[in-house]
Structure 1
Amino acid sequence: MDTASVIGIQSNDRKQLRKNVISIAWPAVTELILVSLVGAVDMIMVGRLGAAAITSIGLVNQPIFLIMAVFQALNIGGIAVVSRAIGSKNYEEANSATRHLIIVTAVLSVILVTPAILLAEDIYKFMGADSQVIATGLNYFRIALFGIIIQNLALSIAAILMGCGDTRTPMMINVASNIVNVIMNYLLIFGKFGLPTLGVTGAGLATFLARLLAFTILISILCKGRGEIKLYLKDWLKWDSKVLNKVIRIGIPSAMEQFVLRTGNLIFVRVVAGLGTVIYAAHQVSLSILSLSFTSGMAFGMAASTLIGQSLGAEKRNLAEEYGKEVRYLGSIVSTAIGVLFFIFSKEIVSLFSNDPEVIKNASFVLKMIAFIQPFQSSQLIYAGALRGAGDTKWPLYSTMAGIWGIRITLAFILVKVMGLGLRGAWLGICIDQIIRYFILFGRFKTGKWKYIKV
């Protein structure tokens, strides 16, 4: 999208506001839906291998997300700095932020992933996996960890493009890589066309190959140049601590937020894993479906980050606020429609992931619970994205601390361990967590103080 069209309109031009939001959001929505669908297809294929196979993937997702948390935080800082720089037409700073983000991501990825690969089996044991689950998923886990390095770099480049307002390029690249992922899943999990039958390991290898393809295309785009952003070989040794400090300063609260979120989820997963392999398989199926519902909120949140960041960079504070309101309105419409579909077709949706009657029974009930919180979930993701785009990354941290540690984990222990409500009790904690986070972030957005944050 042309930056000038984003920041050069009046805040009362509702039609143009909506057009800009949709232009930024629809590629991001499409991309995230595709990513979630591929994850769902992975789970559907792996689900045919049994509950142990589902559990072997589900248990290691949280450790992987924990490792990736620091890079997600860096990307948030990168988006904020780049979008503001683009809005103020400071293209030199935008390019410097891009270069620094990629270098730091590459170095930190290697540092953090290497020990995790060496301790893969111990991590499985810490997560409460039994010997069958470990034997099933250990190779998958190691491949997935190695793939994090490639994935982090790809996500960093995608974040930079989003900060420029270009959500279409990441979408198109993800379409290509996801098609490769699905095809390779089918070939390697089940051993088609003369290829070896690798089971869960095949799913990991297919995902790695797809991520490698996405990274290769993305880095080649930046080297050729996209708009005012281009990577020059001669500039790689140039180090600007001022720009890097901006990215890190904005990213630190987000890193803490991700740390709180992921460590909280690790504890939450251990509570649910104690309910048995079949129940945890139902939980993992529910999470896979939940990730589909996250897509609209996350995509509209990305749109809010970009549009608000560019508007504030151009000193258009009222326009930034109007964008926040418009994005939340459109996101609520989409999320409500998703909730209705989840409630009506809960059993049919869950049946796609597993043919185990106990898994279907438990997960379909959870899906009805998920349906009710869709507007709250979407809105809190959008408000969080809006605040991050303004550089106000502390309040998403506060909301996550209150929701995850104050509500989700506390209720999980009480409802699961004390009251014996099982999986339903655990998910009730998740639902209340989403609602609490919504009210905290909505309250912060209403104050308008985020419009005066200095980056």
Structure 2
Amino acid sequence: MENKSDFFKGFDKDSIITIMALALPAMIENILQVLIGVVDTYFIGKIGTEAIAGVGVTNLIMNIYIAFFLALGVGTTAIVSRNIGANNIENANNAVRQSIIMALGIGIVFGMINFIFSKNILILLGAEERVIQYALPYFFSVAVPSVFLCLMMILSSSLRGAGDTKTPMKIAIISNVINIILDYILIFGIFNFNGLGILGAGIATTISRIVGVILLLRKISSDKTKIYINILDKWHIDKDILKSITKIGLPAAFEKLIMRFGQLVYGGMIIKIGTEAYAAHNIAGTIETFSYLPGMGFGVAAATLVGQNLGAKKTDEAHKIGLISYFLATGFMVAVGAIFYVFAPLLAGLFSEDLEVIDLVVKVLRIIALVQPFLCITLVITSVLQGAGDTKFPMYSTFIGIWGVRVLGVYILGIKLNMGLVGVWLAISIDIIVRGIILMIRFVKGKWKEIKIE
């Protein structure tokens, strides 16, 4: 166990600058993704309510796929960063090649499943016939070619593992701008072109992802990055590296799935509380997303630098990077929390005119504001552990937090004790605090430094 006097050791200016240089582009990329999602929803909302529902039901299945894509990205970042730190560039390059092979395999398999069972999947998710009519074109144009999303996420993770967060940010800007322009043209039409409606929205999304993949491949095929892949070389499957990626990535996938299924269960409980409560819950959750962005950005920086320092056998430096990343992210997130607390009525009023909904959103936002330091732990320290290859422990903590605290707490406080949406968010906050404490104890004990990556 680390000496307590070493807990705050080494908070130097150079480390802060290094972390900020990686974190800020990742934060900007995340902010853009959120804003683009808002723009997409705005355009699709012009088509009609059924169109929004069709996109929503498609995203339910895409979120499950994304859990696996993210997990593959976690494994890729961990192995690439560890090998970059050890100055073993050839192994890092090989890890990227194997990740691309795996991304192609997973993406194609999911695409075939979507193509063959598209309508069955939508019916299984509870979509009504009038919603399915809108969902099917979007589902086909987004979910079937999901291989491009998988490749984009893996290639971005590879560059981040090598310490390059600026390129994924720049390419995200380009692909998202393309998405907005094509959204408008393909949904509504231009000149003599009448537009394709919701199908156009799906095509725009997929084209923007294809452009992103091409630009990312072009980057890693140049000699301007620490990793270099010649796509014309003879490729082969390396079972050992694939096994390592899977060993690291699968727990991260299960962690996301545990979270998603838990959200579905307590989401159903919130619906039973009432329409106003469910509307307020979704509004508060949308606003809360902005508080995640700093934690996610610093989490990317922490995962990269921790992996590189462990590869270079600098365990003390890895510990320091993790701790500085947490405190920097906490500063940003507490500031966002203060905005939530002070301007809660104004923020709630932007999304609803219903006084009951506004009142509930205000109460929830002020609860959210108070747990930002613990929420930051669940984001940054989880990334630190995953960057070190310690993905099982975050999975266990998420299982305990979501199912042992959150789902049970929502039922007891929200339903049984009749505390409504306030009880729901108190349960969510208790889960965040419990998981935060568990994860920080794991970090301080330092067992993650001993994880071996082949």
Q: TM-score range by the shorter chain?
A: 0.7 to 0.9
Q: For residue 227 of structure 1, what is the aligned residue in structure 2?
A: 225
Name the counterpart of 1:114: 112
**How many Å separate the matches in 2 of 1:200 and 1:356?**
29
**1:33 equivalent in structure 2:** 31
What is the match of residue 312 of structure 1? 310
Alignment match, 1:168: 166
After TM superposition, the structure 1 stretch with the greater mean CA deviation from structure 2, 113-122 or 417-426, is: 417-426
Per-residue deviation, 1:214: 1.2
**Which one of 9, 15, 31 corresponds to residue 17 of structure 1?**
15
- Give structure 2 stretches of 5+ with no counterpart: 1-8
Counterparts of 1:346-361 in structure 2 under 5 Å? 346-350=344-348, 352=350
1:120-154 deviation line (CA, Å, top 9, x unaligned): 44444444444454444343333331342211100
Q: Tell me which residue corresponds to 1:264.
A: 262
1:99 corresponds to which of 93, 97, 100? 97
> 1:4 aligns to what?
none
- The 5 A counterparts of 1:305-384 are 305-350=303-348, 352=350, 363=361, 365-384=363-382
CA distance in 2, matches of 1:356, 1:199: 31
Bigger Cα displacement from structure 2, 193-202 vs 239-248: 193-202
Name 2:55's counterpart in structure 1.
57
Aligned length: 445
Distance of 1:427 and 1:393 partners within structure 2: 27
Paired residue secondary structure (1:220):
helix
Q: What is the TM-score when the length of structure 1 is the normalising length?
A: 0.88
Partners of 2:119 and 2:315 lie apart in 1 by 51
Helix, strand or coil: the match of 1:395? helix
Corresponding residue of 1:7: none
**AA paired with 2:433?**
I
Which stretch shows the higher mean deviation, 428-437 or 78-87? 428-437
Unaligned segments of structure 1, at least 5 residues: 1-10
Correspondence for 1:67 among 65, 68, 73: 65
Closer, same or farther: CA 91–118 of 1 in aligned 2, 3 Å:
same
Are the counterparts in 2 of residues 98 and 160 from structure 1 also a CA contact under 8 Å?
Answer: yes
The match for 1:204 is 202
Q: Deviations over 1:244-270 (max 9, x none)?
A: 222222222212222322232333344
Contact in 1 for aligned 2:58/2:138 (Cα 8 Å): no
Determine the C-alpha separation between the residues in 1 that align with 2:209 and 2:319.
36
Give the superposition deviation at 1:342: 2.3
CA distance in 1, matches of 2:141, 2:188: 18
Give the secondary structure class of the aligned counterpart of 1:146.
coil
Which amino acid counterpart does residue 431 of structure 2 have in structure 1? D
State the distance in 2 between where 1:339 and 1:195 align.
46
Task: List aligned pairs for 1:132-143, cutoff 5 A.
Answer: 132-143=130-141
TM-score by length of 2: 0.88
Deviations 1:293-316 (A, max 9, x none): 222111111111111111111111
* 2:307 and 2:388 in contact (8 A); partners too: yes
Please, which of 180, 183, 187 is the counterpart of residue 182 of structure 1?
180
Shift of 1:20: 0.7
- The secondary structure found in structure 1 opposite 2:87 is coil
Partner of 1:292: 290
Q: Could you say what secondary structure the match of 1:97 adopts?
A: helix
Q: Which amino acid aligns with 2:334?
A: T
> For residue 374 of structure 1, what is the amino acid of its counterpart?
Q
Could you say what the CA RMSD is over the residues aligned between the two structures, in angstroms? 2.8
How far apart are 1:160 and its partner, in Å? 0.3
Once residues 59 and 77 of structure 1 are traced to their aligned partners in structure 2, the CA distance between those partners, rounded to angstroms, is: 28
Q: Is the 8 A contact 2:302 2:387 kept in 1?
A: yes
Task: Tell whether the 8 Å contact from 2:110 to 2:144 is kept in structure 1 after alignment.
Answer: no
1:389 is matched with 387
Larger CA deviation: 179-188 vs 291-300: 179-188
Letter in 2 for 1:339: G
Deviations 1:198-247 (A, max 9, x none): 55544433322222221121112122244231212454432322222222
Inter-CA distance 207–359: structure 2 relative to 1 (3 Å threshold): farther
Partner of 1:444: 442
Which residue matches 2:399? Answer: 401
d(CA) in 2 for partners of 1:204, 1:422: 37
**Per-residue deviation, residues 77-115 of structure 1 (Å, max 9, x unmatched):** 111111010111101100100000011111111112322
C-alpha spacing 1:104/1:206, structure 2 compared with 1 (3 Å): same
Does the 8 A contact of 2:40 with 2:180 survive in 1? yes
For 1:118 and 1:358, locate their aligned partners in 2 and report how far apart those are by CA, in whole Å.
45
Distance (Å, rounded) in 1 between the aligned partners of 2:357 and 2:321:
42
- Structure 1 residues 429 and 63, CA, compared in 2 at 3 Å: closer, same or farther? farther
Contact preservation (8 Å) 2:340, 2:366: yes
Is the CA contact (8 Å cut-off) linking 2:303 and 2:384 kept in structure 1? Answer: yes
Question: Does structure 2 conserve the Cα–Cα contact (< 8 Å) formed by 1:25 and 1:302?
Answer: yes
Which residue in the other structure is 1:237 paired with?
Answer: 235
Relative to structure 1, the CA distance from residue 277 to residue 449 in structure 2 (aligned partners, 3 Å threshold; closer, same or farther) is same
